[in-house]
Chain A
Amino acid sequence: MSNRRPDAEPFTRTGDAVAVGLSQTEISVLGDLPELIVSEGDAEGRFAYVAHAEDDSAEARYQDLIGDDLDRLRATDRATFAICLGSKELSLEEAEAFMRVVGEARIVLATRLGVTEDGWEQEAAESRDPGMALLGYLGYLQDALVGALSE
């Protein structure tokens, strides 16, 4: 089982692609993310997005308009993530889908852990809770993806 060198970046921009430097251990952990997201439903309402929060009839029209489009987009992201996990290189579109899935997994984990206010990061850094550790790790990965996609 290989480990990423401590000085190696998990994601590095290489022109029109993103090189992936994840270890097998990291890939194994990340493989559970799609199921983690699906198992949590709407994450206590966090994924139950509304556009017209104060107008029920406008919101009903909006939901009729978008139908299941958001669910379909999220499912496509998870499928892309699952297919790409283990690849040594991602297209920019694949990297963006990867980043959204990592972000959704963070939202699910934070919901489970009861994170509702800013300022929890310090507690997470000092915590020995595995969920908090995973939340922090996924934040590190997402930030690395943002860096690679911003170059």
Chain B
Amino acid sequence: MTTPSVAPVEVPDSDQRDALDQVWQVVVWNDPVNLMSYVVWVLRKLFGHPETEATRLMLQVHNEGRAVVSSGPLEKAEFDCHRLHHHGLWATLERV
């Protein structure tokens, strides 16, 4: 029989707590290579946007250079950003 070991709990420092408490937004940036149709497909696939909303966001990226495609706590925002990178889109995070 073994006894469960108790790992020490890591306490985030104040900067980390601030970051975790805040809302973050995921920004997709324009690039000249990815197809408009592909960007719409990615936004629908990853975030479940209806086609009209995905198309609006894609056009905002194309015309204005960037668009906020999702937002939420840091952990979710970083996950979304990672998935966009996997699909070849240039995405970064910003605090709201």
Contacts and interface: CB of A to CB of B under 8 A. Distances in A.
Nearest to B39: A146
A116 B15 CA distance: 37
A100 B34 CA distance: 11
Most buried by B among A46, A106, A146: A146
Contacts of B88: 100, 103-104, 107
How many of chain A's residues touch chain B, expressed as a range?
A: 35 or more
Interface of A: 46, 49-53, 57-58, 62, 65-66, 69-70, 73-74, 96, 99-100, 103-104, 106-107, 110, 115-120, 139, 142-143, 146-147, 149-150
Given A70-B86, A120-B32, A150-B41, 12 more contacts: A49-B85, A49-B90, A51-B81, A51-B93, A53-B92, A65-B78, A106-B33, A107-B88, A110-B33, A119-B32, A142-B38, A149-B41
Given A51-B78, A51-B93, A100-B88, A117 B32 contact: yes
Nearest to B74: A58
19 contacts: A49-B90, A52-B92, A66-B82, A69-B82, A70-B82, A70-B86, A74-B86, A103-B34, A104-B88, A106-B34, A107-B88, A110-B32, A115-B32, A115-B33, A118-B62, A143-B37, A146-B38, A146-B41, A147-B37
Contact of B33 (A62, A74, A96, A107): A107
A139 B37 CA distance: 10
A111 B45 CA distance: 26
